[in-house]
Structure formats: structure tokens, C-alpha cells
Amino acid sequence: MSVLHLLQEVAQNAQAAGRPPGGPPPEHGFSFRDALFELIQFVGWFLSIGAIGFRFGVVRRIRGISDDARRILAPDSAAMLGLLGVILLFVSYLGGPLVESMSANKAFVEALPKNRGPFELRMAMLAAALVGFLLVRGAATAGWALAAIGLLIASLFPLYTGRGAGKVNAVHVAAASTWLGTLLVLTIIGIRGVIKRGPSGTPRAELVCDLVNSFSPLALTAASIVALTGLTTAWMHLKRISSLWTTSYGITLVIKLGFVLIVVLLGAWNWRRVRPSLGEEGTEQTIRRSATMELTFGALVLLCTAVLVTLPSPR
């Protein structure tokens, strides 16, 4: 049975799994619509925060490269990915209420979150980030600063307004987006750009080596935070270890953790085996392939997470 079929089966049995006969039903069941918007939201955070990570955590750290190489690594293209990410975030936050209002035949504002103040402030910060990305081509410094501030406040907003689990989850998503989101932008804009438009002043393999070495400290830090917050979130939701195999939530979590383990192992391989060999001719293709594989399993983690957050927590 494929992973997608297994996830679908878990979702279809979400109402019954982990519930004793005659017991009360979960507070909410699985919804494909909710999972879709959650997935869109995760992709939005990955692209937008990944663009910020690429600009400040990778490109800004590189020194002593040619002007030709700097043009290839100009973060304008990364800003466009960040802009796309912010648009997806608006779709995820406003699309659900819009669909609900249409299906329930009620006003759109009635479908918005009840606590309107924090929601409106988050939307304002995302709007500021969107404006920032649009300003990058004309005023790079101001544009990137505005985008970074808007996304920082919007992504970590639950730290000020949410409860314990919400606070931990906000840090978890932000750290995961910094790690895999930056890797995504690095692969699409950085490594791919260097391979396709090889700069005249700097060997391609050497420049790719600089990119990866600049990214490594950011990746290690963010991955450590992801591991810590992920374990904390799992413990807060599971409540008992047997929930891992007796509830839909636990089974989906196990599948997700399996993919996370693969991502971590691929990242460790890239860091310990592939990264030290960079700089030699042809190694830029090797790191591109291994990074693509890491991102592929990262996408499966996102899919599992989108399902997971729509399932009822074990009682």
C-alpha cells in the first residue's frame, strides 16, 4: 500500500480510531478541505521564510566572489518566491473562511476567527511582508527588512497570543521553514542558477561550496530547534505512548516521524560526506541531487503534517 493510500485510510477512520465503544466522539474529525489549506499554509511559510533565510543566512555570508557570481546570486528571484509564499499564506488564512461562508450561506466576516484583533494584526504583518518583497527590486535594503520584520512577527505571533501548544508549534513551523525552506530556495535559486549560468570569475563547484558552507550553520541550528519543539509538541498531544498505535493521530505521527528521520539522515549525509568534497569539478551536481532528494522527503513530511493537524488529539 502506498503512503498516500495509507494516509487516506487513516483519515477515513479518524472518527473511530482510538475511541472506546459508546464513548463521546472527538471534538472534530478529519477534513480534506482543512488539510488542503493547512498544506497551502505550510508551503507558504516555507517559501516566504526560506527566501528570508537565503537572503540573510546564505547570500549575505558569502565574501570575495566575482561580480558575475553576485549577479547570479542576486536575491531578486528569491524575493519572487517569497512573494508567492505570502500570497499562499493569504489563501490559506482567508480561503477556509471564504469556502465556509459560501457553503454555510453566511457572511464572510462571520466565518473569520472570533478573536478578530490578533487575526487582523497577523494579516497586516503579512501585508507588510508582501509589500517588502515587492520593494526588493527598487529598494533592496528596505524591502528585505520590511519583509523580514513582517514575517517574523506573523510567524511567531502565537508566542504572544496562543497557549502552550500553540507557542511551541509556532517555533516549530518557523524553524522547519528556516531549515527546509531555505534549502528549497538555495536549491532552486542558488545551486541551479550557478549550474545553469556558470560565472566566469569563480568556478561553479567553488561557488556552490561557498553556498552550502554558508547554509550549514543555519541548517544545523534550525534542525536542532525542529527536533526539540517537535518532540515537545508530540508529547503534549499524545498524552500516552500507546496512542502511537491505537489512534489515527498516533499512526499518522509515526508515518511523519519516519519521513523526518529520512530527511535528517539525508541532511547528515550531505553535511558529513557530500559537503567536504565540494569544490571539486562535478560535485555541484552531486549536492543538487542529494538536496533534491532531501526536499522530496521534506514534501512528504509536509503532507503528513497537513493531515496530522486536522486529526483529533488522543484523549
In this predicted structure, what is the pLDDT of residue 284?
74
Task: Specify the pLDDT at position 79.
Answer: 92
pLDDT, position 73: 67
Query: What pLDDT sits at residue 200?
Result: 52
Per-residue model confidence (pLDDT) at position 44 = 96
Q: Residue 210's pLDDT is what?
A: 81
Q: How confident is the model over 62-77, as pLDDT tens digits?
A: 766 656 666 666 667 8
Cα–Cα dist 96/91, whole Å: 8
Give per-residue pLDDT as tens, 111-123: 888 777 788 899 9
Identify which of 161, 160, 159, 179 has the alpha carbon closest to the alpha carbon of residue 170. 159
Output the tens digit of pLDDT for each of the chain's 315 residues: 454 454 455 445 444 433 333 333 334 567 788 889 999 999 999 999 999 999 998 887 776 665 666 666 666 788 999 999 999 999 999 988 888 888 888 888 888 887 777 888 999 999 999 999 999 988 888 999 999 999 999 999 888 776 777 888 899 999 999 999 999 999 988 888 777 766 655 577 777 888 888 898 899 999 999 999 988 888 887 777 878 888 888 888 899 989 999 998 988 888 777 777 776 666 777 888 888 899 999 999 999 988 888 888 777
pLDDT at 2: 53
What does the DSSP assignment read for 31-74?
-HHHHHHHHHHHHHHHHHHHHHHIIIIIGGG--S--HHHHHHT-
Say which residues have a Cβ less than 8 Å from residue 193's Cβ, sequence separation at least 6: 72, 73, 77
**What was the pLDDT predicted at 190?**
83
Helix (H, G, I), strand (E, B) or coil at 278: strand
Distances (CA, A) of 284 to 187, 224, 254, 310: 11, 26, 34, 39
Question: What pLDDT is recorded for position 71?
Answer: 66
Displacement of CA 45 from its chain's centroid (Å): 5
